[in-house]
Structure 1
Amino acid sequence: MVIKYIFVTGGVTSSLGKGIISASLGMLLKSRGYKITIQKLDPYFNVDPGTLNPYEHGECFVTQDGAETDLDLGHYERFLDQPTTKDNNVTSGLIYKTVIDNERKGYYLGKTVQVIPHITNEIKRRIKMLGSSNNYDIIITEIGGTVGDIECLPYIESVRQLKWELGELNSLVIHLTLLPYISVTGEIKTKPTQHSVRNLMENGIQADILVCRTEKHISKNIRNKLALFCNVKPEHVIESINTKVIYDIPYLLHLQNFDKSVLDHLNLSTFTSPNLHKWKIFLKKYKNPKYEIKIALVGKYVSLHDSYKSITEALIHAGTENEIYVNIKWIYSEKIKENNIEEYFNEISGILIAPGFGIRGIEGKILATKYAREKKIPFLGICLGMQIAIIEFARNVLEIRNAESNETNPYTSYPVISLMKKQKNITKKGGTMRLGNWKCSLIKGSKIFSIYGGKKEIIERHRHRYEFNNEYLENFSNAGMKTVGINPDTGLVEAIELDNHIFFLGVQFHPEYKSTVSNPHPLFNYFVQISKNYKSFVYHR
C-alpha cells in the first residue's frame, strides 16, 4: 500500500490546537485499523527544545530513544497509545544544521546552497524518512507556527512540492483557523479565515479541509460561505468548538465525519467504523467522578500549566481510572515559607514535587517535602522532586544541615546530590543529559515493587544530569530512607521510599511520559488511590 500523507497547517493565530487536532485525527484513523504516526515540524532555530525555558515553550517531552522534543509529541502518544521517536520531531535548527554540515563535507559538489532546493529537500527527506523504515499507512505531519510567518515559508513550500510529487490521492492538507466571535454584534467573522486560506493559496497550496476553532457553533450559512470563498466542500468545513475537555475533541470531530472525509479524499476504505468504545467509557468516567481529591503540584513554572503537561494529564488518566476528580492546586515553590506553609497545604490529599532545574524555588520545595514527611501526607517526587526529598531528609533527619546539590552549590561540602561522572566533562548543554529509556531494578518487598505488579525490572524515561551520591547510601538506609530502585548497569539510585509513611516515594525517572488514556501509569494510579484513602481517613473520620 502506498503511504498517504496528511499535512496540518495553521492560520490567523498561533496556539489554536494543531497538535490536538492532529492527535485526534490520528486516534480516529487508528481506531479504524490504520497504522498511523504523527510528526511535528517546528520552525524555530533551536536544534531541539531541550534548552528552551518552559515559560517560552512549555514542557520538553522526552521520547523513549532519548530525544528532547516538543510537548505535542506527548499529545500524540497519549491519544494514540504508542511511542514516538526522535524522527517524530524536527526543528528548523536541525534542518539547517544538517544542510550546513553536508555543505562542509562537500556533499553538494560546490553548488550554491539555497533554501530551494537544499533546505526544502531536507525537509521532504525528514517527512518521508518516517515511512521508509516503518510500515505506516498514513503519516500526519503538523507544521508548527502560522501560515504567513517568514520562518514557516520553507515548510509550506516543501508541502507544495510534496503535494505535486505524491499525487492528489496520496496527500491532503488540513488548515486550522480561527473564527472570531464579536460579542457586541453577536457575529462569527469569517474574513480572517478567508485571508488565511488565500495566503496559503498564494504559496501554491489549496486546503482540502478546513477545521475552524470557534467559541460558538457554526451555522449552515457560515459553512456555505466558507466553502464558497475558500474553495472547499461545505461538508469539509469542520467545527472545532472550545471545550474544557480535550479528550472530547476526537468524538466531536467524528460526529462531523471528519475522519471519513479524510479517508474519502485519500481513496481509503471507510467500511470499518472507528472503535471508540473504550474512549467513550473514559469520557463517561472522567465527567462523572464519584470522588474528589486535591493534589498540590509544587513547582517553579506553575504560571504556565503546559510546563507540566504530562504530569497533569497523567493525574487525569489515573483519576479517571479510579473515578476520582483530581483537583490540582498549583503552588509556586518560591512563595512557600515556614510561616505560611499551613495555608498552602490545608486540605491537601497529596503532594507532588515537580521536576525542574536551577536554584530558584528550591527551598520552598524542601519545606513542602518536609511538611509531607512529617504530616504523613502522600508524597511523590519526580526527578528533581526525588533529589529534593533526599536533601530534606539529609538536613532534617540525618542532621547534615548544609546538605545540598552540586547543581545549586558546586562547592558544597555535603553533596548528597552530585553530578554524574559521565557529565563532569560535558560543556555543551543541548541533548547531553541522561535521556530516554533506562532500566531500573526494583527491590522485592518495596511499595514500588508491588505498584509495578511484582516486576523485577522496569524501563522508564529519564531527563537529568545529577544523581543521588552513593557515598551517603548507608546513612540514608539506616535512618529509614530505603533505596528501592537501582539502575543495574550504573548503580545509580532510581527510586527511594520512606519507612513508616503512608506513601513517600521519589523517582529519578519521569513516569508521566508513559501515561496514556488507555494505560494510566501505575505510579500515578497508586498515588491517586492512596491520596483518596488519606482524604477519607483524615477529613471524614
Structure 2
Amino acid sequence: MTKHIFVTGGVVSSLGKGITAASLGRLLKARGYKVMMQKADPYLNVDPGTMSPFQHGEVFVTEDGKETDLDLGHYERFIDENLTRNSNFTTGLIYQSLISRERAGDFLGGTVQVIPHVTNEIKSRFLRIEEQTDADVVITELGGTIGDIEGQSFVEAIRQFRKEKGLGETLVIHCSLVPYIAAAHEVKTKPTQHSVKELRSMGIQPDFIVCRSDHEVDADIRAKIAHFCDVDEGCVFENSDCASIYDVPMHLAEQDFDGKVLDRLGLERRERDMSAWVSFTDRMHAANKKADTTEIKVVGKYTQLPDAYLSVIEALHHSGVHYGRHVKITLIDGEELTAENVDEMLDGADGILVPGGFGQRGVEGKILAAQKARVEKIPYLGVCLGLQVAVSEFARDVAGMPGANSTEFVPGCSYPVIDLMPDQEDVTEKGGTMRLGAYPCKVAPNTLAAEAYGEELIYERHRHRYEVNNAFRQQLIDSGLVISGLSPDDRLVEMVELPEDVHPWFVASQAHPEFKSRPTNPAPLFREFVRASIARHEGVDRHEICAD
C-alpha cells in the first residue's frame, strides 16, 4: 500500500517547504523506494500558466504538457523523475472539475458543498497520483501557510484522508519559521508554537516539525518546541540555511530524518546510497571556491525576480559543476539594452543566453544581445524566444530582410520570419492552449546540436505559440543559417545554429531544455554552451574543456 507524506508550512511563506519535501524524496529514493511528488496550491487559478512571473516565478512544464508550479522543477531535479499533470493541482482546478460535473447533472440535483464534495475531489487527487504511478511513497506539499482561508479545504481533506487511510499509512511534516531576534541574541519558538496550535485546531497533529531559520536551532530549542507542540523530541529537526539547496538532503540525513520517517511509516530502513549526490555537492563546493569565474549574462525581461528563470539558472550551475568551474550568472534587463550601451552592458560576457518570454517589452534589447554574440563570436544559447530573436537578428543583418520580426510583436512587419503556428490561429483562450510538453525533434548530423545530444531523435519540452515562418526558411538557409533540428514531419524548425567555421558556438532551441536538466546530468545544450563559454574565458579550444 502506498504511503502518503504531507508537508505543510507555518508562520510565513517562502520557507522552503518544496526543498524540504524534495530533499526527503531524494533520501527515500536513495534507499530504494519509488517516490512520486505533487504540489497542491490553494489559489483559484486553474494553473500558473497565465500568472505573471513577477508574482509566481517561472512556469515549469511537465513532460506531458502541464503548466505547473516552479516547485515541481525542484522535485524533478532532486528525485530525478519526470512528473506528470497529476503532480500539481489548484483550488481553481478542483472547482472547475466540480462545476463541470454539476452542469452535466452528475450530482442528481443535490447541493454541491465544500464538505464533502470539494474535500472528496481533493482526496481523489491524492489517490490518483498513487494509482497512476505505483509509487511506494507519495509526498504532497501544501502551498501557502497554515491559517490561510483559501487553504482550509485542503487541510480538512488531509485530515479526512489520514483518518480513512488509518494509522501508519500517512504522516504530516510541518515546516515552520524559527526567527532569530538580533536584539535578544536568540531564536524564538513562539511563532512555531502558534502555527502548530493553528494546525491542531484544524484536526491535524504533525508527526514531525522542521525548523527553518537563518541561525542554528540547537537541541534545547528543539526540545522546547517538541514539548509545547506535543511531538516526540527526536522528531523536531533543524534546517538552518545551507550554502546551497543541494546541501539540504545530507543536512537532514545527518539528523536521521529519512530513517525516522521510514520508522513512522512502518517501512524497512534500507541502506541509503547518496554517493552520486555527495559527489556532485563536493564538486560544486570545490568549483565555487575557485576565484576564477566564467561569466554568463542572461538577457531577459523578468530580471527583478530570479525565480522567473529558476530552471535556466539551475541548468547553468549544473553545467558549471560538470566541468569543475564556477559560473557567475548576471541577469540583464533587455529593456535597458540599447545600441549605445550594449557593449558596456554585456562587457566581460563569456557567454550570452536569451531565455523564453512573452510580450514585446525588451525584445529589441534581446535582438541586440544576439547580434553582439554573433558578431563578436561570443558563445550564445537561445531558448524559445531566444531562438526567435536570434532568427530575427540574422534575417535583418545577414539575410537582407530589414525590419524582420515576429508577428507577435509587429503584426504588419515586412519580413515576418516568426509567425503564429497554424494550429494556434483559432485559439482564443490563454490558459493551457500553447504547444506544451515534450515533442520529438530530428537532429541534423554534423551539427553542434548533434554533438551535444549524441542522438538522432530527441525529446524536449515546449511552451510557445510562435514558430519560424517556413516561407522564409530557405532564404535563411541560403544566407548561412543552419537548421539543426526539425520536427519529424519537417514542418517545424526546432533548432538553429551557425556553422563552426563562422562562429565557435551559436545554438538556439525552440524548446526549453532547462526543464530536464539534473544536478548529476546537465541538459546537453546547456552543458555544451557552458563548455564553450569556459573555453572563451580560458582562451582555449572548447574540446580541451573536459568533465571534472
Which of the five TM-score ranges fits, normalised by the shorter chain?
over 0.9
Shift of 1:406: 0.7
Q: What's the offset of the Cα at 1:527? A: 0.8
Question: 1:538: how far off?
Answer: 8.3
- Can you list the C-alpha shifts for 1:244-302, whole angstroms capped at 9, x where unaligned? 300000000000111011111101111x2210111111011001126520000110001
Q: Secondary structure at the match of 1:488?
A: coil
Using the alignment, how far apart are the partners of 1:341 and 1:100 within structure 2?
52
Corresponding residue for 2:181?
Answer: 182
Counterpart residue number, 2:451: 450
Structure 1 residue aligned with 2:484:
484
Aligned positions of 1:210-289 closer than 5 A:
210-270=209-269, 272-289=270-287
Question: What is aligned with 2:465?
Answer: 465
C-alpha displacement of 1:490: 5.7
Displacement of 1:223: 1.2
CA contact (8 A) 1:482 1:498 kept: yes
Q: Which amino acid aligns with 2:78?
A: F
8 Å Cα contact 1:81/1:519 also seen in 2 = no
After superposition, what is the alpha-carbon deviation per residue over 1:287-344, rounded to whole angstroms, capped at 9, x for unaligned? 1126520000110001100000100011111111110111001111111111111221
Deviation at 1:364, TM superposition (A): 0.5
Quote the Cα distance in structure 1 between the aligned partners of 2:240 and 2:7.
Answer: 18
- Matched residue count: 536
C-alpha offsets along residues 375-401 of structure 1, whole Å, 9 cap, x if unaligned? 000000000000000111111112322
Q: Distance in 1 between matches of 2:286 and 2:175?
A: 31
- Contact 2:367 2:389 (C-alpha < 8 Å) held by counterparts: yes
In the alignment, which of 508, 520, 523 is matched to residue 522 of structure 2? 520
Identity of aligned residues (%): 49
Tell me the alpha carbon deviations over residues 477-515 of structure 1, each in whole angstroms, 9 at most, x when there is no partner. Answer: 111111110001361000001121000111100000010
**Secondary structure of the equivalent of 2:174?**
strand
For each residue in 1:109-152, what CA deviation from the matched residue of structure 2 results, as whole angstroms up to 9, or x when unmatched?
Answer: 11110000000000000111011122211100100000000000
SS of the residue corresponding to residue 150 of structure 2 reads: helix
Question: 1:475 and 1:13 mapped to 2: Cα distance?
Answer: 55
Aligned partners of 2:6 and 2:142 also within 8 Å? yes
Q: Which residue of 2 aligns with 1:311?
A: 312
Partner of 1:79: 78
Q: Secondary structure of 2:26's match?
A: helix
Give the whole-Å Cα distance in 2 for the aligned partners of 1:329 and 1:202. 46
Does the residue aligned with 1:288 lie in a helix, a strand or coil?
helix
Task: Give the SS at the match of 1:30.
Answer: helix
CA distance in 1, matches of 2:104, 2:505: 56
Which residue matches 2:379?
A: 378
Counterpart residue number, 1:435:
436
**Paired residues of 1:121 and 1:158 also in contact (CA < 8 A):** yes
Q: Tell whether 2:532 aligns with 1:534.
A: no
Once structures 1 and 2 are overlaid, which stretch shifts more, 236-245 or 354-363? 236-245
Kept in 1: contact 2:237–2:252 (CA 8 A): yes
**TM-score between the two structures when normalised by the length of structure 1:** 0.98
SS of residue in 2 equivalent to 1:534: helix
Q: Greater shift after overlay, 58-67 or 511-520?
A: 511-520
Query: Letter of the aligned partner of 1:277 in structure 2?
Result: S
- Distance of 1:506 and 1:182 partners within structure 2: 49
1-side partners of 2:172 and 2:464: how far apart?
38
* Structure 1 residue runs of 4 or more that deviate by more than 2 Å after TM superposition: none
Q: TM-score, normalised by structure 2?
A: 0.97
**CA-to-aligned-CA distance 1:416-459 (integer Å, 9 cap, x gap):** 00000000010011101000010100111111111111x11111
Over the aligned positions, Cα root-mean-square deviation in angstroms equals 1.1
Greater CA deviation, 50-59 or 518-527? 518-527
1:148 aligned onto 2:147 = yes
Separation in structure 1 between the aligned mates of residue 507 and residue 137 of structure 2, nearest angstrom: 41
- The whole-number CA distance in structure 1 between the counterparts of 2:311 and 2:60 is 8
Cα distance, 1:221 vs structure 2:
1.6
Contact 1:47 1:93 in 2 (8 A): yes
Letter matched to residue 180 of structure 2: Y
Task: Give the match for residue 25 of structure 2.
Answer: 26
* Structure 2 unaligned regions, length at least 5: 542-548
Q: CA deviation at 1:106?
A: 1.0
In the alignment, the residues of structure 1 paired with residue 480 and residue 132 of structure 2 have an alpha-carbon distance, to the nearest angstrom, of 49
User: Structure 1: 5+ residue runs without aligned partners?
Assistant: none
Amino acid aligned to 1:467 = E
Rounded Cα–Cα distance in structure 2 between residues aligned with 1:195 and 1:325: 42
Q: Tell me the amino acid that sits aligned with residue 471 of structure 1.
A: A
